[in-house]
Every structure is written in C-alpha cells, then in structure tokens.
Amino acid sequence: SLIRLRDYRAPAWRVEAVELDFDLGIDASEVLARLHLRRNPAQDAPLRLDGENLQLLAIALDGRTLSADEYRYDDSVLVVDGTRDGSVLETRVRLRPAANTALEGLYLSGPRETGFLLTQCEAEGFRHITFFPDRPDVLSRYTVTLRADRARFPVLLAGGNPDGAGELEGGRHWARFVDPHPKPSYLFALVAGHLEVIERGYVTADGRAVQLKIWAEADAIERCHYAMDALERAMRWDEQTYGRNYDLDVFHVVATHDFNMGAMENKGLNIFNAKCLLAEPDSTTDEEYRHVEAVVAHEYFHNWSGNRVTCRDWFQLSLKEGLTVFREQSFSADMNSAPLKRIDDVALLRRAQFPEDAGPLAHPVRPAQYSEINNFYTATVYEKGAELVRMLAGTLGRDGFRRGMDRYFERNDGHAATLEDFLAALGEANGTDLTPYLAWYAQAGTPRLKAHGHYDAAAQTYTLTLAQQTPAGHGAEPRAPLPIPVKLALFSPHGDMLPLHMDGQTSKPAIELVVVLDRAERNFVFTDVAAAPVPSLLRGFSAPVILACDYTPDELALLLAHDVDGFNRWEASQQLAARAYEELRDGTASAALHAWCDALARLFDSAAVDDALLADLLTPPGEIELAERETAIDPQRILQSRQALQRQLAERLGAENLQRRYLALLAQTGIELDAASQARRRLQRRVLELLALLDPVGAGALAATQYRDAPGMTDRLAALSVLVRSGAAQAAAALRDYRERYAGNALALDKWFAVQAQLPGEPALDRVRQLERDDAFTLKNPNRVQSLLGAFVRSNPSGFHRADGAGYRLLAERLVALDALNPQVAARLATAFNGWQRLEPRRREAAQAAIVELARQPGLSRNLGEIIDSVLNH
C-alpha cells in the first residue's frame, strides 16, 4: 500500500482542541481522549481516526455511549458514524508500555522497577496512544492531565505550560499542562518517572522569562551541564540570526538511553537519545561534544522550523529537516571553525548521502511515494535537503535570506506548509523567482558537473565551460537541468588570486564570484587574464554535485598549497589523494602520488595551516567514498590500496619527523574544549595513525602509554582505536581495562563495541560474534545495536563484505530477530545492503543470496519489507 504525494487531500475532519487524561502504569496505562471535532464543509466523509492496535475500553459521542453498530475498528482505523461539526468524541483505551519494544508511542526506558515512561510520536506514533487524525496538517490545542503513583512516578511532564498539579488519594498525584500553540499530533510528548533535573533561568530577547530544565536519571544528571550551555547559546543565536524567540514559559529536555533516533523536538518537551545530550571529559570525545551542541541546537531550532511552521504531509519532511539541519550547520560554524564544519558536513554527505543517491534506495529530497514514512528519515532528506537550503541562502545572500525567512515564518506561522510555500516566501521577499530550484527537490541522483578551462594567451581570455548531467534514476522523475551555483576564483601560476573580469560586466572586479549554470552547458568568459590560471571551483562546496575537472596533479597541488578557502584546500587534497590512490591501485604512473606527498610534506613542516585542517589534509577519502568511484567493488582491495597510500605519505613525512610532532602535541594535550586544543588532539591522533603504518611496534608502545595517561576520552579512544586497528600486542590489555573502567557507563561501552566492530578485514566477523556474547550486548537497545552491528555493517566495509558472504548472512539473521522487536531499527540496519549490485561478482552473488533468503521470511514488518523490496527490485 503506497502513499503518494499526488493523492494529497485536505483532512475531512479537524480536531480544534483535545483533552487527554493519562492514568499511567508500567504494565498498563489508560488514555481518555476528548476530541472537539470540526467538519471540513468541502468534504462529505465519515469520521475516520487512526489507531494502531489499541484496546478500546469505551467510546461516546456527544456524551452518549455508542453501541457496537455505530462504529467500526479494524485495528488500524476507527470509523464513527453520526458525527457532526462541533461533536465531541470520547474514547478510552488501554496501552501496554512495558511490552512496547518498538519504542514508538508510549514505552518504558530502563528496567521495569526503576525505569521511566516516555513517548515518541514522530512520524506516526500518536496513533499507538489514542484515536486521532494522526497527520501533520491537523493542528489542535492540547490539554494534558497525567495521573500516577507519586512514589513510582515523582516527575510528570508533558508539553506546554504547567497548569496545576496536586495530590490524589492512595499516594497518587496529578499534573496538568496546557499548550497554547496549536500543534500536530507528532509533537505531543509526555515523560513520567524518577528523574533528576538541572535548571537555568533565561529571558528571551522579547522579554519572556523561561525556565530551562534538563532531566536525566540520577547517574547522568551531572553530564547535562554542557547541553544546558549549548541550549542557551542556541537560543541566543536564533534570536540574533533569525529574530526567533522561544514561546512557552518552560522548556524541558529529557535524556533517555532507549531511543530509535537522535532526538525529538516535541513542543516544549524535547526528548534526546542520551548519546546526543550527555557530555563530560572522561567519557565524551571532542567530536561527540560538537555533536551534542549541534543536536541540542537542531531540536531547539525546530521550535520555529517545524513546530510553529509545520509540514502539510510527510512528503514535505525536508521542509523542516533540511532547513533545520542547515540552521544547525550555520550555528555550529559560528560556534566553532567554519571551514572544519564544512569539511565534516561534506564528508558526511559523501559517505552517507552520495551512496544512498547512487543505489536502489535513491529517492528525491521530496519523495513521490512511500510505504513506511520512517524509512525516509534519510541522509537525502536531511543532508541533501540542507544543501538545497544552503544553495538558496547563497543565492539570496545573507540579508536576502533573512528577509525571506522572516516572510516564511510570518506567513506560515501556525500552518502546515509545503516546499512551494517555502520557495514562494523566499522568492517574493526578494523579488525573485526561485521555482527553478523545485527541480532539485523532485529528482534523485547526484548531478555531475563537468568543468573545462581554455586559456587564450593572445586574447588574454579564459573560458570556463560548465556542463551538467544527472544520471538516470530508477524512478520516473523528470530530468530537468538544475540551477547549479558555482562559487569560483582563479589563481595565478604563483598561487595569487586574480581579479575576475567577467565578459560584459562593468562593475569593479571581485576575486570570488558565483556563476549559476542553469542549463545543460554554458561558457563563462573572463577577460584580462595575464597567464593561464588555475580555477578554484565550487568553493565551500556551493552545490551538492560531483565535480569532474581535468586538473593536472600540479594544479591540484597548487590549490592545496595556496587556496585560502579552507574547504577547497581540503578538497584539492582529497582529489589529489583519490588520484594517487588510483595510481597505486593500478600500478600506473605516480605523478599524483608525488604531488600529494610533496605538498603535504611542505605544509607539515610549515605553520601555514592550523592543526585540525592539517589533520584533515593528511587524511585521504575514506573507503566508502573510494568505493563510490568504482564499478566492481572489492572492499578488501580498497582497504589495502588506501593503506598503501597512507604508508607512502607516512614515509615521505618520515618516522622521526612524525614522532617529533607526536611528542610535541602529546606534551600539550589536555581536556580543554577550545578550538586550538581540539585541533591539537585531532592532529595528534592523525600523526599517531600514520606512525602506526610505518612502525607498528613503536607506535603500539606510544599508543599504550597514551591510552594509560590520557586526560580525556578523545585521547583515550584514539589510542585504543590505533591499538585495535594495528593489531598491537597491547590491544587486549587496553580493551580489558576499558571494559572494566566503563562497565557502568552505557555510552562509553558503546564505543568499546564500535571500536572492535571496525577491526579491518576478515577478523572482524569473529570479533562481532564474540562481542554478541558479552553480557552487555542486547538487541533491545538501539544504541547497542548500532554500536556493534551498525558499526560493523556500515562503517567497516572490509570486515562486513567478506568474500565468503558470512557478513551478509550474519546481518540477515540478526535482522529477522531485530525486526520482531524493533522494526525501525531493523530497517535502518538493512540499508547496509544498499550498494550490493555494484560489488564484484563473488560478493554480489553472496549478498543477493542473503537478501533473497531474508525476503522469504514470513511476517516481516512494513519497515523492513519496504527496504528489502527496494534493495532487491530497484
């Protein structure tokens, strides 16, 4: 049963206001819902409410109990006869939170005796709680009353402003919450149980006093202070950058260890996967600190991009997610180093989204159809969606984008909007037509951009020819030429930026400009160019495309050495490294290899770039990215060639030189979070990794000492990872030590599983099987599943893609078990099969056999079924 974008119809019935009364218990909870209904005069349809496997205890319409022939319920839809405009429908249902292993709807986090209750409704979890038109374009006012035993559930929370609380008989108590802002059902949330809190007062720019409260279980509450600081920074930033103020008297954030995704922006009651909220030096890496800051901001920003302006239907998901990721990226760039943030984001796009866009699971940023919407919370909707917003923002400029966003929020506040509404607001506020960008939202696949330069010495002109092509997808989407903004600069052969005189343009020449390729091919002519230039294209990654430009290795080396755009400097290193990799793999020439190593050797010994950028320049594209460039993928061979490439680099830098640098960085390390300290740790890790390729024994000894003396998790985990990956003799002891030291810290233990799941090559599978027998492993916790199985199938290509197919069979077996517990997590893990058609023949056949066998299993969920079907048949 496919849901199609083109079949959208406005709801026949709305719910103006809803009163929910919860009687909470671990094994059984009861929900009384009172829906104040409004009929859509343009439609004549009976009332149909969503409700998934609810145990209906009572039903009454306008105060009268309904008899069995006045309604029908088939376990997913409730149809009620006799409703009219203004009717009030009352239902009472029973839920079983402790038995809910899917973590959707109302469920239990932690042990039965001590855990707490919470909800997850996006996308369609509310229908697991009560009968409702569970679609994002039905906005209602919520009044929520919670009742529960006070000793077992001392804390009762729901979204909205507090509206009274008190005692009840028999040791019970109650609390009420009223949300003045109409919202869709997916933003409903409640939390109940034993939780500790940290609080901070905050006054918004427009003068509202807000209580910020972060809740967590007792053993985690002291790890919430960093998130509190991040939240305050995010709130200030949204006020200053977008003029957006918070709009309730209280803002709750809650941490849980049992969560399917990263976090959820429920109105006034954000709920976070603990791994995206908790932070402390002893167990959190620098990368994770930055992630916490980003996710806290992301969920907060949703209050406007998502909640105040929500989505008409789930096809518009990127309207809130792409936009909010973009807002979060801009925030993180402002809080940290902008070029490093850009490098991280583009690396993620290439690692996660490009492969998705190139395989059977490819879909447009606005999909045309789906079977299970939870399968569309993808890198394409999120990350590529953010890139599309970035292009729009770049086109309009800073002030123009702000003007457009003001218009968007103002015009759509309190409404469920579409991507057309978004483009219209941005365009109209700036007197420009942005509808050509809609084509980006409608077609899957990563466009190829071909660039070719021609220098005419006699005329002193430089002609840049840009051409675009999008590979044909499996869908029937149109393949229109896309508007591709290309930010560029020209460099002289000495590495200076040249003033850009565009043909026919009279204004003062710039040294950087944006040209927009809006048809299949176009020439851009620059005049008064004194010598053949080297173009720096797509600066800052101005469009999510794959650029092919016929650079010579020396030209790339020139950009690597001189480009002032930190991103493009890194990009030049990536391109050069990829060519050097191909040279090594094919045993052909070595011009790129020499150019890459020489350029990096010079930078390594100068102080020209900061430590973090240097670390990234010294890192070739990852195994997954390199695989994207091939047709008959052999992950084992990719690993080997990539290792060989890095060994060449390490040799060129020299063991002594590396060791000296390592010791100098080590002497300065600590746990400070400022940019320079983080940068030093990033470089220290990279240098140690390179050293381990040259001198495994010497590096093993250094890593063992670093592990033992590490002041914080960044250095400790880096050392552990080097020990494990290089197969050092000291690895086993360090792993034992870590296992013991963090026995009580779930997030730290996750990293212990993940490091080992990424053991390169054949030995990984046995290690995974062995770790599955560890007492701490369970299929019931999504984080644990991700840390072991997720890290193995998604982040360890050479380990997972064994030639004998054992990795595929292990995944297929686990998916069956997992699917019975948690279909969302199973479906996400199954996307590891995405690229199977492009594997070399032996692996391809083994993968296909495993997937076909999996598809034959009876009773698969809609989630997993849809992924397997797409992977096999597209």
Between 286 and 321, CB nearer to Zn ion: 321
Contact 803, 841 (CB under 8 A): no
- The option from ligand ARG, Zn ion, none interacting with 263 (CB < 5 to 8 A, set by class) reads ligand ARG
Contact 609, 617 (CB under 8 A): yes
CB of 840 vs ligand ARG, minimal distance in Å? 34
List the one residue from 321, 328, 344, 356 that touches ligand ARG (CB under 6 A): 321
Cite the DSSP H helix spans in 606-744: 611-617, 623-628, 635-653, 655-668, 675-694, 696-709, 713-725, 731-741
Report the 3 state secondary structure along 541-576: CCCCCEEEECCCHHHHHHHHHHCCCHHHHHHHHHHH
Q: How many residues at the interface with Zn ion, by CB under 5 A?
A: 2
Which residue, 659, 865, 677, is CA-closest to 285?
677
Between 303 and 824, CB nearer to ligand ARG: 824
CA–CA separation, 848 and 863 (whole Å): 19
Residue 35 interacting with ligand ARG (CB under 6 A): no
Between 303 and 324, CB nearer to Zn ion: 324
Site for ligand ARG, residues 600 to 659, rule: CB under 6 A? none
> What is the DSSP secondary structure assignment for residue 22, as one 8-state letter?
E
- The option from ligand ARG, Zn ion, none interacting with 122 (CB < 5 to 8 A, set by class) reads ligand ARG
Between 294 and 627, CB nearer to ligand ARG: 294
List the one residue from 215, 251, 315, 377 that touches ligand ARG (CB under 6 A): 377
CB of 870 vs ligand ARG, minimal distance in Å? 17
> What is the DSSP secondary structure assignment for residue 2, as one 8-state letter?
-
CA–CA separation, 65 and 63 (whole Å): 7
CB of 873 vs ligand ARG, minimal distance in Å? 24
CB of 323 vs Zn ion, minimal distance in Å? 9
Q: From residue 281 to residue 310, what is the string marking binding to ligand ARG with x (rule CB under 6 A)?
A: -----------------xx-----------
Between 71 and 314, CB nearer to ligand ARG: 314
Contact 835, 633 (CB under 8 A): yes
Count of other CB atoms within 10 angstroms of residue 795: 18
- The option from Zn ion, ligand ARG, none interacting with 443 (CB < 5 to 8 A, set by class) reads none
- The option from Zn ion, ligand ARG, none interacting with 90 (CB < 5 to 8 A, set by class) reads none
Between 273 and 798, CB nearer to ligand ARG: 273
CA–CA separation, 285 and 719 (whole Å): 12
Cite the DSSP H helix spans in 85-180: none
Site for Zn ion, residues 305 to 364, rule: CB under 5 A? 321, 324
Q: How many residues at the interface with ligand ARG, by CB under 6 A?
A: 13
CB of 525 vs ligand ARG, minimal distance in Å? 44
Q: Which of 299, 321, 383, 387 is catalytic?
A: 299
CA–CA separation, 785 and 273 (whole Å): 14
CB of 754 vs ligand ARG, minimal distance in Å? 22
Which residue, 586, 578, 576, is CA-closest to 551?
576
CA–CA separation, 429 and 423 (whole Å): 10
Examine the residue annotation and report whether 299 is marked as an active-site residue of this protein. yes
Contact 408, 319 (CB under 8 A): no
Q: Are strands 140-149 and 13-23 parallel, antiparallel or unpaired?
A: parallel
Q: From residue 694 to residue 723, what is the string marking binding to Zn ion with x (rule CB under 5 A)?
A: ------------------------------
Write down how long the chain is.
Answer: 874
- The option from ligand ARG, Zn ion, none interacting with 658 (CB < 5 to 8 A, set by class) reads none
- The option from Zn ion, ligand ARG, none interacting with 796 (CB < 5 to 8 A, set by class) reads none
Site for ligand ARG, residues 767 to 826, rule: CB under 6 A? 824
417: left (phi over 0), alpha (psi -120 to 50) or beta: beta
- The option from ligand ARG, Zn ion, none interacting with 327 (CB < 5 to 8 A, set by class) reads none
Q: From residue 249 to residue 278, what is the string marking binding to ligand ARG with x (rule CB under 6 A)?
A: -----------xx-xxx-------------
Site for ligand ARG, residues 658 to 697, rule: CB under 6 A? none
Please report how many Cα atoms fall inside a 13 Å half-sphere around the Cα of residue 836, on the Cβ side.
30
Contacts of 37 (CB under 8 A, 6+ apart): 13, 14, 15, 16, 47, 83, 85, 86, 87, 88, 89
Contacts of 492 (CB under 8 A, 6+ apart): 498, 530, 531, 533, 534
Between 324 and 669, CB nearer to Zn ion: 324
Contact 453, 464 (CB under 8 A): yes
List the one residue from 256, 266, 374, 418 that touches ligand ARG (CB under 6 A): 374
My answer on whether omega of the bond before 692 falls inside 30° of 0, hence cis, is no
CB of 248 vs ligand ARG, minimal distance in Å? 18
Between 123 and 255, CB nearer to ligand ARG: 123
CB of 257 vs ligand ARG, minimal distance in Å? 16
Fill in the amino acid letter for 99.
A
CA–CA separation, 689 and 450 (whole Å): 35
- The option from Zn ion, ligand ARG, none interacting with 377 (CB < 5 to 8 A, set by class) reads ligand ARG
CB of 849 vs ligand ARG, minimal distance in Å? 31
- The option from ligand ARG, Zn ion, none interacting with 610 (CB < 5 to 8 A, set by class) reads none
Between 412 and 824, CB nearer to ligand ARG: 824
Residues that bind Zn ion (CB under 5 A): 321, 324
Residues that bind ligand ARG (CB under 6 A): 122-123, 260-261, 263-265, 298-299, 321, 374, 377, 824
Query: Which residues are known catalytic residues?
Result: 299
